[in-house]
């Protein structure tokens, strides 16, 4: 079973969070997780808000808005 911290580490390493990884995080956050996973998720949130992580879902939304 994948852990939240694993998904976060991959996103931070690649600088990219895919839609599939976001969905995996949603699933994992609905289960019990350790403090280390919560801390990793908060790190990911901060990195995304600072623009250090590109989010596929956000890019898709922006493309859709530009087409309209």
pLDDT digits (tens, 9 = 90+) for 24-51: 999 999 999 999 999 999 999 999 999 9
| pTM of the predicted structure, to 2 decimals | 0.85
Burial of 53 (0-12, 13-18, 19+ CB in 10 A): buried
Q: Quote the CA–CA distance of 57 and 67 in Å, as a whole number.
A: 16
pLDDT band for position 12 (50/70/90)? very high
> What local confidence, expressed as pLDDT, does residue 68 receive?
52
Average pLDDT over residues 6-25: 97
Rounded percentage of the chain residues whose pLDDT exceeds 90: 81
Q: Quote the CA–CA distance of 48 and 15 in Å, as a whole number.
A: 9
Q: Quote the CA–CA distance of 51 and 63 in Å, as a whole number.
A: 17
Phi, psi angles (nearest 5°) of residue 26: -60, -45
């Amino acid at each position: 079973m994948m852990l939240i911290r694993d998904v976060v580490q991959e996103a931070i390493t690649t600088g990219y969070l895919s839609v599939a990884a976001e969905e995996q995080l949603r699933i994992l956050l609905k289960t019990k997780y350790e403090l280390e996973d919560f801390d990793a998720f908060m790190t990911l949130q901060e990195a995304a808000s600072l623009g250090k992580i590109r989010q596929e879902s956000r890019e898709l939304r922006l493309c859709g808005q530009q087409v309209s």
